[in-house]
Amino acid sequence: MRCAVFDCDGTLVDGQAAVCDSMVAAFAQAGLPAPDRNAVRRIVGLSLPQAVVQLAPDAAQEQATAVVESYKASFRATRERGALQEPLYAGIRETLRALRGADWSLAVATGKSDRGLRATIATHGLEDLFDSLQGADRHPSKPHPAMLEAALVECVATPADAVMIGDTSFDIEMAKAAGVRAIGVAWGYHEPEELLHAGADIVAQTPAHLTEILLGE
């Protein structure tokens, strides 16, 4: 069976506003200067502790830990009051259903928490489409290949039968580390040139283009 493993933020959904707002709030609560929003966009995909280290490399350990906990609380509160905006990219639902209709197995490998990933998938009514959901709680941060390898096990797929689809160099590097073909997407948080430089075989310009790449093989 062919298997397509997707990143979440920047690939399936556009969650940058919520990520940036929660990160700025978390830094403020920890007494640190607000990070640049473009810098925050660029670390989307990393596990939260690693992302905070990237954004504040000189922060004391206790400050970094405080940022992580404050971010989780802020993001959870935003979701619970119904203010979280994580829209699906236009055409993604159609791509997922087309792959399912062609008997592909589907998975997600993301830097989101397990709870956050399940909530995002449920919000968009996609639960019936995925065979495996892998979040940051149980795995090392990308680009370590552990979460991708776990997804392949649950989908009963080999690296040769799989493809990793993501919008950041972290996704591409993870795919290469797992021996899996990598396809970048142009609508996310890293530029297409970065994805190709990291080793992407091709960059899909739109979800419809991604469908053509995968089902045209």
Most confident by average pLDDT, 78-82, 94-98, 113-117: 94-98
Active site residue 161: no
Whether the CB-CB separation of 100 and 107 falls below 8 Å is answered with no
The pTM assigned to this predicted structure is 0.90
Domain 3-14+86-216 has CATH 3.40.630.30: no
Among residues 206, 99, 112, the alpha carbon closest in space to that of 163 is found at 99
Q: For residue 147, what pLDDT is reported?
A: 98
Measured at the alpha carbon of residue 93, what is the angle toward residues 10 and 198, in degrees to the nearest 5? 35
Q: For residue 31, what pLDDT is reported?
A: 92
Among residues 166, 46, 155, the alpha carbon closest in space to that of 105 is found at 155
**CATH class of the region 16-81:** mainly alpha
Q: For residue 82, what pLDDT is reported?
A: 83
The full set of domain ranges for the chain reads 3-14+86-216, 16-81
Among residues 151, 200, 191, 166, the alpha carbon closest in space to that of 1 is found at 151
Active site residue 58: no
